[in-house]
Chain A
Amino acid sequence: MAKNLIEVEHVKKYFPIHKGLLNRVVGNVKAVDDVSITIREGETFGLVGESGCGKSTLGRVILRLQNATAGAVKFNGRDIHSMGSKELNKMREEMQIIFQDPFGSLNPRFLVKDIIGEPLKVHTKMSASQIEKRVIELMELVGLDASRRNRYPHEFSGGQRQRIGIARAIALNPKFIVADEAVSALDVSVQSQVINLLMKLQREMGLTFLFIAHGLNVVRHISDRVGVMYLGKMVEVGETETLYANPLHPYTAALLSAIPKPTPTKKRNRIVLQGDVPSPANPPSGCRFHPRCPFAQEKCSQVEPALTEVLPGRQVACHYPIGVEGGSDLNSLK
């Protein structure tokens, strides 16, 4: 088995809520609450969940774009959250991010060659002509016409801009890339082009991806393993195929059943969840999913379930996981 590249250990990220004249802290939004995951070298780890569940915050904390409230993130065994700024800067060459919005994430006043070349300027001692050569290489690698390097971002379409963002992210040959909703803003036909590009780059450069998305189909296609988040907690982790085929957590099951499928003839049993995601400032007691869970029992509102390995390679945080002995039964819903 490949070694672990990223080890996230009990990471918490709280955002304080200030109120009143004295700006006292009256509470915390627990965006990420005690999450532990490992990402293996060369794999794509998909992170799914509804908006506000903390998946983007987790991605940012892993890169230390935001400091964790507690916990450690180890990159190749070294904790990036206890590093000094010099050491961290060096580390940043190894890890990059691709953002969701292909319009907001590129500086409109920079030429495309300067956008792609900027990490090289910051982190390497390459000369201007060397950088330009590398930019041409990178643009060709991501399928952009390199002769357009002296243009501004607004002259490119959404899909092309996302390619610019990708070229910038791979400029330093990083090991690890966080793709935060990298294809969500794109149309289907363009989306498939960008997904193919990401998978090609992974094969050629041996990249490790943390792929954050709310599009469950996309995550299934690209990920080796998937983690499902709900209200700041990791509720289920497993190999993509087994997780999609047999979800253990009722939330995962509901999420998967909610995907509209392009097959009009098949009628499926859909678990329609009631209500909305509760506020992460004031999460429910016990299991955070229990007010919306169709299988909730008394224990669920009192005791918080821990993420435990119930089947080989399958971790779930549920007292009564689906399809496990003594657990919940999907057929009982009919």
Chain B
Amino acid sequence: MAEKLLEIRNLTTAFMSENGFVKATDRISLNIEKGQTLCLVGESGSGKSVTSLSIMRLIDYAGGSILEGNIRFNGDDLATKEQDQMRSIRGNKIAMIFQDPMSALNPVFTVGEQIAESLRLHQNKSHSEAWKEAIELLRLVGIPAPEMRAKQYPHELSGGMCQRVVIAVALACKPELLIADEPTTALDVTVQAQILELLMKLKEELGMAILLITHDMGVAAEVADHIAVMYAGSIVEQGTVEEIFSNPSHPYTVGLLQSIPGFEGKRGNELYTIKGTIPGLGNLPKGCRFNPRCPHVMDKCRQVEPGDIQIGAEHSTKCWLYEDKDRNGVSVSGGIGGNANG
């Protein structure tokens, strides 16, 4: 097994509200190995972005705070670091790409300057050295005529080009971990295909690990080695990409896969729906947080919250259906597809 790069244990991040702390992530645990891609999938409000901001410790600036848990990056706990110490890690060892490339770039600086800035800050390069390297980075991310483009401002580039620039900024210091928060959501599918291909190519070349946050199961299937599914602040299932797609076990994962139009079922047929909506983080139901929407809900689900249950070498799920290790007599497949008994 490869070396662990990032190890998150029982991370709880909360925001203060009128009614006390609201936990945006609740005791989540994740591992990312060197050179691997982990996809964090889930719907809006499930806590994906809060997880990534917590790793970067940018959550402190977003009004949240880490209540408990460790974030070990190469063995170092980021959760307890001072912000000055974080400053030398952010953008240097861990870099981040945001969803909207247009607003992630500063409109009053040229794109070359924005790439060179992080080289000067973190690697003490001179102006001319940093500028030269910025042009090389633009070439690396596939921007034609980089010498000319480096002198342009963000508004002179298209959305796809801007996202390439953002990636170049993130890669400037050759980070060990790249966090990409919905990097292709704002882009068209043809451009999305270009960007995903670029990310995968760079990952191979530079040997970095990627934490990709997405709501698109299709994107996750294409790029991930491992997948973690989030629901209402909790990771309800995680495993290798093959396990998650061929053998989804948590009813939420199954429902999510079934709801994708054009994935299964005939055109024009009624789509599978998960009834109801995501509960507010302030008033989570008792027991399993998915129980009011779950088609397989049992009495126990309404009382006690399930912990991680190992159902494979690298596959765990938070669902009482799998409490019995042999998984005998448990059928998630009834009516909603999925092959839990397989």
* Residues of A participating in the B interface, judged by any CB pair closer than 8 Å: 50-51, 157, 159, 187-193, 195-196, 199, 214, 216-218, 220-222, 240-241, 254-255, 257-265, 270, 272-273, 276-277
Contact = CB atoms under 8 A, between A and B. Distances in A.
Given A157-B277, A195-B271, A220-B262, A50 B256 contact: no
Contacts of A189: 43, 255-256, 259, 273-274
B219 A260 contact: yes
A258 B259 contact: no
Contact of B261 (A221, A260, A261): A221
Contacts of B277: 157, 159, 190
Nearest to A268: B222
B261 A255 contact: no
Nearest to B271: A192
Nearest to A241: B267
A277 B273 CA distance: 35
Contacts of A272: 190, 193-194, 197
B180 to A, nearest CB: 14
Given A259-B218, A265-B242, A221 B267 contact: yes
A318 to B, nearest CB: 17
Given A50-B190, A260-B193, 5 more contacts: A188-B260, A240-B267, A263-B245, A264-B241, A270-B193
Interface in B281-297: none
B199 to A, nearest CB: 13
Contacts of A193: 273
A297 to B, nearest CB: 21
Contacts, number: 120
A270 B194 CA distance: 10
A262 B218 contact: yes
Which of A157, A214, A218, A258 gathers the greatest number of chain B CB atoms within 10 Å? A258
A192 B272 contact: yes
Nearest to B41: A188
Contacts of A258: 189-190, 192-193
A117 B242 CA distance: 50
A258 B193 CA distance: 6
B257 interface: yes
A183 to B, nearest CB: 9
23 contacts: A159-B277, A188-B259, A189-B43, A193-B273, A195-B261, A199-B268, A221-B268, A254-B190, A257-B193, A258-B192, A260-B192, A260-B196, A261-B221, A261-B263, A262-B221, A262-B245, A263-B245, A264-B242, A270-B193, A273-B190, A273-B194, A276-B158, A276-B160
Interface string B38-80: 0000011000000000000000000000000000000000000
B267 A265 contact: no
A182 to B, nearest CB: 13
A303 to B, nearest CB: 25
B110 to A, nearest CB: 20
B270 interface: yes
- A-B pairs, top 9 by smallest CB distance, nearest first, are A260-B218, A221-B261, A217-B262, A192-B271, A187-B43, A258-B193, A50-B188, A192-B259, A264-B221
A128 B65 CA distance: 51
Nearest to B192: A258
Contact of B271 (A196, A270, A273, A276): A196
A164 to B, nearest CB: 15
A111 B63 CA distance: 33
Contacts of B197: 270, 272
A223 B237 CA distance: 34
Nearest to B218: A260
Interface string B146-183: 00000000000010110000000000000000000000
B191 interface: yes
Contacts of A196: 270-271, 273
A217 B260 contact: yes
B338 to A, nearest CB: 13
A220 B256 CA distance: 18
Contacts of A187: 43-44, 215, 278
B160 A218 contact: no
Nearest to B242: A264
A257 B278 CA distance: 32
B221 to A, nearest CB: 4
Contacts of A262: 217-218, 220-221, 245, 257, 260, 263
Contacts of B222: 260-261, 264
Contacts of B44: 187
A289 B54 CA distance: 44
Contacts of A260: 192-193, 196, 216, 218-219, 221-222
B303 interface: no
B246 interface: yes
